[in-house]
Amino acid sequence: MDLGLHGAIVLITGGSKGLGLACAQAFLAEGARVAIASRSHENLEKARAQLGSVETFAADLCQPRAAADMVDAVERRVGPVDVLVNSAGAARRVAAEELTPDAWRTAMDAKYFSYINVIDPLIKRMAARGRGAIVNLIGSGGKFATPTHLGGGAANAALMLATAGLANAYAEKGVRVIGINPGPTKTERVAQSLAADAKREGINEAEALKRIVARMPMKRMPQPAEIADLVVFAASERARLLTGAILSADAATNPTVV
């Protein structure tokens, strides 16, 4: 199936590792021109060495001015962005009894505003051009509360509402917005979250991983490339009717109809 992405300009936040890196590889395979953003120059250089022909941009996307400047730089150096994939930022897992107002705020900055600060300037440019697609990698923690992921889960829930609302508001402008909620996926970020789960349950990380996989109907943890396949399709015109959808991508680990 030709997804029509050859030559498309794709910006991926958090594109230097994990799901973002897998998305960069998938879009490059479709012939797209890819730009990736990250806070870390070191991680960007590692990603460039792995990916080859990509443009890299370092920015702290929790800061609105830095995010807007990054968007400006991408469009100057690469061209008008056709597809934005948001994969930057993750709230640190904190036990419920350790949460403070500052911790809640930090979680929103890390996950919610690191997306919104890029979406806001770019969706307006896309609307002015009459085309564009935004795919937000969010997370099922916004639908299923867990004691060690309340701050991040609240940010995810806010992103889901923003995704659906922006899709509705910008549909007539030719801009599509889609959310994808991966479940636990074999990435460095998920490996780090195991420590918090293990501490809470009084077990080691290997046992925590074993218990997570045991709850998965497929009896294995999905690979980043499998999530990237969904992102590439969602970003294509083949998925035009999915705008506003929040897609569960946890392989039926949390079966639900809502």
Average pLDDT on 221-246 reads 95
> Residue 153's domain spans which residues?
9-249
- 101 contacts: CB under 8 Å, gap ≥ 6: none
153-162: pLDDT as tens digits? 999 999 999 9
Check residue 192 and give its pLDDT. Answer: 62
Residue 257 domain-assigned (yes or no): no
CATH of residue 189: 3.40.50.720
Check residue 195 and give its pLDDT. Answer: 67
Comparison of pLDDT for 243 and 202, the residue scoring more: 243
DSSP-assigned letter for residue 111: I
- Residues 69, 151: Cα–Cα separation, whole Å: 28
- Residues 142, 67: Cα–Cα separation, whole Å: 24
Check residue 253 and give its pLDDT. Answer: 78
Check residue 207 and give its pLDDT. Answer: 79
Residue 168 domain-assigned (yes or no): yes
- Residues 52, 48: Cα–Cα separation, whole Å: 5
Residue 213 domain-assigned (yes or no): yes
- Residues 235, 231: Cα–Cα separation, whole Å: 6
181-209: pLDDT as tens digits? 998 776 676 666 666 667 767 888 777 77
Pair 223, 71: CB distance under 8 Å: no
Residue 134 domain-assigned (yes or no): yes
Of 27-41, 68-82, 178-192, 220-234, the range with the lowest mean pLDDT is 178-192
Check residue 161 and give its pLDDT. Answer: 97
Residue 234 domain-assigned (yes or no): yes
The number of domains in the chain is 1
Task: Tell me: pLDDT of 258 over 60.
Answer: no
18-57: pLDDT as tens digits? 999 999 999 999 999 999 999 999 999 999 999 998 999 9
Average pLDDT on 225-248 reads 96
Average pLDDT on 200-228 reads 80
Check residue 146 and give its pLDDT. Answer: 83
Question: First CA to last CA across the chain, in angstroms?
Answer: 30
Residue 3 domain-assigned (yes or no): no
Beta strands in 59-119 (DSSP E): 83-86
Q: How confident is the model at residue 257 (pLDDT cuts 50, 70, 90)?
A: low
Average pLDDT on 79-101 reads 90
